[in-house]
Structure 1
Amino acid sequence: MTTALSQGLTLAWRSLIPLKNSPGQLISLLLQPVFMIVVFVYLFGGAAGGDRAGAVAYMLPGVLVQVALMATITTGMNLSTDIGNGVFDRFRTMPIARSAPLAGRIMADLLTLLITIAMSLAVGYAVGFRIQTGPLAALAGIGLVLLMAMALSWGSAWIGLVAKSVTSMQGIATAVLLPLTFGSSAFIPATDMPGWLAWWMGVNPVSHLAGALRGLMIGGLHPSDVWITLGWTAALLAAFAPTALRAYNRRVR
């Protein structure tokens, strides 16, 4: 187990090295949260009632969740690309654990996600967002987002391994994540929505994740949001981690 983890970390570093030779990809990681915050927080938030400070406080945690979950699509896309290029065929000939390349890909994407989250918080600070709880609570909230992102990355990995192409993988993952993120209370309270949509937003796991992060960063935490998020994370891991490993073993044997 320790050897597999060490090998996974080594392969994660191998996946991150190309970033220094690909400034366009690095710039994309840094600019994505800027665009999201400008559109959802600084423009839409200011237009919705004119309370820009309240909009920033409510919507920025939702933007963090949105950015993190949509970033998990890259896991499946990168896996699909690596398989198409024959990278995993070379790994198969090496004396490493079978799960190490898959785990390394997910760990690398989580590390790049940390860069995106840090950039999001920096831009949020620039537009007026302030953490009102404390550093430990804020770190717990970011950790919760990373846990959910890791669980969804396994689902993204599974889609990338079974999809016919990178394009189809991206289309499937986007079709799943868009209703979850935009159909949540990440940006708009459920009380402002019609009955059927308010019900969906209430059961949507992204709503609970956004609520937990909001509570841990600005106060008013409902512990149920944390427990429901942890429950969904455990369920997604239990469902997709073994499924992705089986699909990976079928593709590289």
Structure 2
Amino acid sequence: MEGDKCCSSLFQRCKPYIAMICLQFGFAGMNIITKVSLNRGMSHYVLVVYRHAFATAAIAPFAIVLERKIRPRISFLMFMQMFVLGLLGPVIDQNLYYAGLKFTSPTYSCAISNILPAMTFVMAVIFRMEKLDMRKLRCQVKVIGTVITVAGAMLMTLYKGQVINILGSQYMHHPRNYVAENNTDSGEKDWIKGSILLIIATFSWSSFFILQAVTLRKYAAQLSLTAIVCFLGTLQSIAVTFVMESKPNVWNIGWDMNLLAAAYAVSVSPNI
């Protein structure tokens, strides 16, 4: 009996960590499916629109029903914060991330996005949302983790080494060879462009988290906030797509990988 209680208590404590590990697997699958969809010609602008339109439709009913009694009134300042959240997450972050993914690879994109916690921590310290006291072990670990993740991302971005062949494999390449089979000028330019886009996207993602934390202090209805941000992001993404894509057929979507990419992204991460 006591053993069952102990196992149950241990499982309850481990649930957040298990959820985060499962989420990372979900992100990896999302990158792979999205990469396939983009390689087949789907516009990443259109993908962002469909993704957040699906997310709005999926979350809004729950927000309306579950938070009808706790939903705060939206002031003009609050609406502007939500508008900027829609711009930072669905529009800037997603469009630049998908563009960077198109120029690089799922593995490389995941590696660059690993600087997200470090970038968010630095921004939180700058805006005094985190206290940096180097006398505490917790702060020391955060600083060391920040240095390691940034150094790893810089190594992936800047290092150009030899091709690694394992057991005669001809498909293991260094990061720059993720883009092109040969080290051509066009491949080099795509690699640099993709890296820059991914870094800017990660910075936008960090900014989203910071502003989201500020917004949630006054607007505590999480589901409603997510639904509103997805809806505003959808409208903004539609405007961006109309500017960037002139062909009407880019909006075509069927029961194929394009639909799977949009729907799968919603199940992993609805708003960003």
Same fold, TM-score > 0.5, yes or no: no
- Structure number with the higher helix fraction is 1
* Bigger relative CO (Cα 8 Å, ≥ 6 apart): 2
Indicate the TM-score class for this superposition, using the shorter chain for normalisation: 0.3 to 0.5
Q: TM-score, normalised by structure 1?
A: 0.35
Q: TM-score, normalised by structure 2?
A: 0.33
